[in-house]
Amino acid sequence: MKINQIIFRPFRPEDVEDVLKIASSRFKEKYSSSLILQIYKYFPEGFLVAELEGEIVGYITAVPHYPTSLRVLMVAVKREHEGRGIGSQLMGRIETLAYMKGYSSVKLEVRQDNIRAIGFYRSRGYRTVGMIEHYYSDGSDAFIMEKPLNF
């Protein structure tokens, strides 16, 4: 698979089950189809999928967060497609969207023990700006990370 074989496109409601399968395989948190669709309806342009040969292999969703930032709620790539630049492409597209919409930064939360994800975000220019105790349903803490947008 080459990255140029991946199609990045807007999420469609019929994608919800594929997105849920990826979410359930990648996150400890459990999400419902109604929540996914509610996020989509709130800010449809912030919900993208990565598709390879008709199969959704990754997705990202982001929503406005305060007047100056866009907040990434979820980004995930199927395990068998990790390390191929799909997550970077999804993040880059959301960062570009945020910039084009006039936001000054992109923010996200990440589990403090998710060293791999933290490294990925740092490599993209994100820095830790805070912490939220007991953020996740299992009581785990989260780092708040932010990337200023100055393309």
Closest CA to 54 of 12, 93, 115, 105: 12
pTM of the predicted model, to two decimals? Answer: 0.91
Query: 69 forms bridges with which residues in the sheet?
Result: 65, 105
CATH of residue 19's domain is 3.40.630.30
Q: How many domains does the chain have?
A: 1
* Domain extent at residue 57: 3-148
Residue with token string 């959301």: 94
Which pair of tokens denotes residue 129?
Answer: 């700006």
The overall longest dimension of the chain from CA atoms, in Å, is: 41
Distance between CA atoms of 124 and 88, rounded to whole angstroms? 8
Q: What is the mean pLDDT of each run of 10 residues along the chain (151 residues)?
A: 81 97 88 95 97 96 94 96 94 97 97 95 97 93 96 64
